[in-house]
């Protein structure tokens, strides 16, 4: 990638982000996803025990959580209730990965289809931009807002735990696996969903079709959440790195496929 190519990507990325500022409604589904992802664990760990008067530590179902977090130096001082809260907040953290995916999907399907419907795609295709530069800018234009949103959600999540959970529970979010989940696994999953949507939107003129294809990434994330709670899978830092490596490979393959599918001449002649 040459310096000129980077400048072209940067210029188109700035245009994409500026266009998004004029259409904030696209982010409503992502914001709602973020709010739900934050609220659910607080309901389970804080609200339900408070209103029922029953402590989480009284349930035998959470004994593994007590052992897991009392054995780690950063959380060894936690009482049984705090250890279970740490377990719940850590397990539900994977839900926040859905937030950047939802944010990306709110934008991605319109990255190409919106340009076509606004009759601004054809002038772009006539510029010196390579297909890689064009797709890279459009994918980044949808990815960046999703990452910003999940960062805000993570900060609110952490702040809420500091306010409402037992002292020291917040430290679980500073574990390497927590940070890797949010800032590595999340963006890579979003990128895969984005590229799927862009690939599809290169061939169809229905934004919903592209969104539905990209949303397939949410299914394995949901399966991972269920597997964590059933004890089938323990999401360690090593496992996150392995999954992330697989997603990075998938993203490289999807970019190559996207470039191949994005036939400029076909789009110009067929999308009339």
Predicted TM-score (pTM) of the model is 0.83
pLDDT score of 258 more than 70: yes
Mean residue pLDDT of the chain comes to 79
DSSP character at residue 166: P
Yes or no: say if 128 and 168 are a contact pair by the CB < 8 Å rule: no
Yes or no: say if 221 and 187 are a contact pair by the CB < 8 Å rule: no
pLDDT tens by residue, 208-249: 666 666 667 777 887 887 777 776 778 888 999 999 999 999
Task: Provide CB contacts within 8 A for 146, sequence distance 6+.
Answer: 30, 99, 100, 101, 102, 103, 104, 107, 187, 190
Confidence class for position 151, pLDDT limits 50, 70, 90? very high
Yes or no: say if 182 and 150 are a contact pair by the CB < 8 Å rule: yes
């Amino acid at each position: 990638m040459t310096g000129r190519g980077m400048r072209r990507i940067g210029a188109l990325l700035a245009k994409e982000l500026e266009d998004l500022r004029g259409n904030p409604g696209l982010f409503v589904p992502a914001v709602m996803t973020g709010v739900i992802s934050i609220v659910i664990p607080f309901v389970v760990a804080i609200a339900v025990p408070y209103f029922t008067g029953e402590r989480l530590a009284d349930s035998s179902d959470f004994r593994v959580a007590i052992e897991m977090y009392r054995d780690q130096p950063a959380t060894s001082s936690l009482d049984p209730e705090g250890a279970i809260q740490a377990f719940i907040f850590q397990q539900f953290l994977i839900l926040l990965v859905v937030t950047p995916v939802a944010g990306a999907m709110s934008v991605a399907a319109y990255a190409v289809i919106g340009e076509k419907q606004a009759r601004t795609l054809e002038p772009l295709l006539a510029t010196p931009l390579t297909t890689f530069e064009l797709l890279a800018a459009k994918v980044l234009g949808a990815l960046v807002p999703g990452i910003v949103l999940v960062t805000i959600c993570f900060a609110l999540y952490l702040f809420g735990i500091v306010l409402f959970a037992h002292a020291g529970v917040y430290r679980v979010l500073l574990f390497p696996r927590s940070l890797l989940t949010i800032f590595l696994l999340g963006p890579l999953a979003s990128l895969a969903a984005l590229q799927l949507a862009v690939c599809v939107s290169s061939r169809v003129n229905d934004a919903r079709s592209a969104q539905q294809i990209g949303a397939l990434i949410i299914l394995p994330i949901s399966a991972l959440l269920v597997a964590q709670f059933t004890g089938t899978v323990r999401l360690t830092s090593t496992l996150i790195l392995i999954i992330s490596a697989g997603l990075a490979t998938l993203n490289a393959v999807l970019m190559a496929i996207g470039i191949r599918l994005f036939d400029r001449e076909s789009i110009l002649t067929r999308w009339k």
